[in-house]
Structures are given as C-alpha cells and as structure tokens.
C-alpha cells in the first residue's frame, strides 16, 4: 500500500520540480536582491566617519526641518537633538539596522520580516531624516530627489513582497497588491513627479531651464499613463521611466554624490529604476 500511494506523490513532486519558474517569480527575486544590495550600500555609507559626529545631526538631520511647517519640523529637530548627543552609539545602530535589512532581504528565509522592517524604517526616516522629501517646504523637485529617496524603499518593499497568491501576473508588481493597485501606485508616483516638475517650472530661471522642466513634466506624465495602455505602449513607458531615472540620477543628483562623505544613500535614481523594472510586462500584445 505504501509503495502504491508513494509513487504518484513522488512523481508529482518530480513533475512540479521540472516546471519552469514563472517569469514574475524569478524576476521578483532578482529585484529583491538588487534592493538588498542598495540597503547594504546604505549601511556602508552610514559607516562614513562624518556620520559619527554631531555634525551629522546638525547639518543633515536638522536641515530636513528647514522650510517645513511646525507639525513636521518640530519632531525632526527633537530627533536630531537626540542624535547630536549620542552620535556614535545611535549611528552605529542606524548602520547595523540597514546592513541587517540588506542581509535579511538577501536570505530567502528572512525576506518577509526584512521587507516589513524596511517599510517601517523607511517611513520613519522619510519623516525624521528627509522631512517628507520637502513636499511641504515648497522646494520639492524631482530632479533633485523628490519625493525623497527613502520613501521609495518602502514602495519597493510592498511591490516586491513575496507571495504565492494565485493570480495572472502581467508584471512583477502585480502579484503582491493586484493589478489595479499596482497601476495606481505607478500613476501616483510618476504623475506626482510630473506635477512637481510642472510646479517647479515657474520657480526656475527663465529660458531653457524652465522649458526643460515643462518638457520633463510632459514626459513624466506620459510615463504615468503608460501603465494603462496596451503592453507594447506600456513597455515603451517603462523604457522612458528607466531613461528618466538615469537622467535624474546623473544630471540632478550627481550619482548621489558618493565622494562627498555625507551621503546616506545613492539617492532616488536607482530606486526609481528598480520600480520601473518591477513593471516590465511579462507578456506580449495578443
């Protein structure tokens, strides 16, 4: 009896093992590993000598309060004051946590708790370290990092969440949140960047700079709606998003200023590119 019932089960296991890994599953893991690498890089950047001095609190953290309303600025100044008094101990904790998040995402068995911690930590840093990306200070500019690089870590934590929910996955970001929510996230992100660029246009110097911001806003708006178009058009939109991410990173963010000694992350460009790759269509037009 045991042989007759065991053979079909073994055969079923062998058949399941021989099935190819779905595109979305394989691609999601690759993007998770890329995200893990960015978290590890953040942890290493946090180990720069400047980060262990009171100046990190006064020149970087407290600066996020500038221009923000009181309800946002006051908690930032409070938190920066704590860091200023114990910079070595607290910054060691910051670096250790980010390294642990990166290693946790890289290890399959701990990817879920690591992503959960990354989402919570990202939102805290977005408030206390970035002042919500300057969205309430009047100086938010997508070319210089708005809406804040760290909130994009939280977005990626959600979009790359591992799940086995049975669903038809058109792209990696579909499976964790569903097709409708995934498309809304894309539209809000890139549409928000388009709006920020458009608002920033009149504030910029006259001439080609203003014209460039308006043109950039139009391109970002096209990217925002591409996710609702047929697959071939959506693929073009993702490519435009990758180009825009590279442009923002190279021209606006100077590759995150890696040699300055004060950078806590590589800035928003690489994160925007990872988000774009999570929306690459896995099928062709019928």
Q: What is the mean pLDDT of residues 119-125?
A: 97
pLDDT at position 211, please?
52
Q: What is the CA radius of gyration of the chain?
A: 21
The mean-pLDDT minimum among 7-21, 51-65, 212-226 falls in 7-21
Q: What is the mean pLDDT of residues 13-31?
A: 61
Within a domain: 13:
no
Which residues lie below 8 Å from residue 285, measured CB to CB, with a gap of 6+? 230, 231, 232
Within a domain: 283:
no
Among the listed residues 255, 265, 268, the one whose alpha carbon sits nearest the alpha carbon of residue 41: 265
21 has pLDDT over 50:
no
The whole-chain average pLDDT of the chain stands at 86
Helix (H, G, I), strand (E, B) or coil at 197: helix
pLDDT at position 212, please?
57
261 has pLDDT over 80:
yes
Within a domain: 109:
yes
pTM: 0.86
d(Cα 189, Cα 152) in Å, to the nearest integer? 9
Within a domain: 10:
no
**pLDDT digit string (tens) for 144-199?**
888 999 999 999 999 999 987 655 568 999 989 999 999 999 999 999 999 988 88
Q: Could you tell me how many residues make up the chain?
A: 286
Which residues lie below 8 Å from residue 229, measured CB to CB, with a gap of 6+? 237
d(Cα 150, Cα 119) in Å, to the nearest integer? 9
pLDDT at position 7, please?
45
Q: What is the mean pLDDT of residues 80-91?
A: 96
The mean-pLDDT minimum among 83-92, 130-139, 211-220 falls in 211-220
Higher pLDDT: 216 or 43? It is: 43
> DSSP label at 173?
T
d(Cα 175, Cα 184) in Å, to the nearest integer? 14
Q: Are 156 and 35 in contact (CB under 8 A)?
A: yes
Within a domain: 198:
yes
Within a domain: 91:
yes
Within a domain: 285:
no
- The count of domains in the chain is 1
140 has pLDDT over 70:
yes
Domain with 68, as residue range(s), is: 23-277
pLDDT at position 60, please?
93
Within a domain: 5:
no
Q: Are 76 and 134 in contact (CB under 8 A)?
A: no
Burial class (CB in 10 A: 0-12, 13-18, 19+), 232: exposed
Residue ranges in 107-258 assigned as alpha helix (H)? 111-128, 149-159, 174-177, 179-200, 208-226, 231-247
The number of beta carbons lying within 10 Å of the beta carbon of residue 240 is 17
pLDDT at position 168, please?
58
């Amino acid at each position: 009896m045991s042989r007759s019932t065991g053979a079909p089960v073994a055969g079923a296991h062998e058949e399941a093992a021989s099935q190819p890994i779905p595109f979305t599953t394989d691609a999601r893991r690759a993007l998770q590993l890329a995200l893990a690498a960015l978290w590890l890089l953040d942890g290493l950047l946090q180990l720069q000598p400047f980060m262990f001095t009171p100046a990190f609190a006064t020149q970087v953290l407290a600066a996020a309060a500038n221009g923000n309303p009181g309800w946002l600025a006051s908690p930032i100044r409070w938190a920066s004051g704590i860091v200023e008094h114990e910079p070595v101990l607290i910054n060691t904790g910051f670096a250790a946590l980010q390294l642990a998040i990166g290693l946790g995402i890289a290890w399959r068995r701990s990817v879920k708790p690591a992503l959960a911690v990354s989402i919570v930590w990202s939102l805290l840093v977005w408030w206390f370290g970035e002042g919500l990306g300057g969205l309430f200070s009047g100086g938010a500019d997508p070319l210089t990092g708005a809406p804040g690089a760290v909130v994009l870590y939280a977005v990626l934590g959600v979009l790359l969440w591992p799940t086995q929910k049975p669903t038809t996955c058109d792209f990696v970001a579909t499976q964790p949140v569903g097709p409708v929510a995934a498309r809304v996230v894309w539209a809000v992100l890139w549409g928000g960047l388009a709006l920020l660029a458009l608002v920033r246009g009149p504030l910029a110097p006259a001439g080609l700079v203003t014209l460039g911001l308006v043109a950039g806003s139009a391109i970002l708006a096209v990217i925002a709606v591409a996710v609702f178009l047929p697959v071939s058009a959506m693929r073009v939109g993702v490519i435009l998003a990758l180009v825009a991410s590279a442009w923002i990173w190279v021209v606006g963010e100077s590759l995150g200023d890696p040699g300055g000694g004060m950078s806590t992350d590589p800035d928003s460009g690489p994160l925007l590119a990872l988000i774009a790759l999570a929306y690459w269509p896995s099928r062709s037009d019928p």
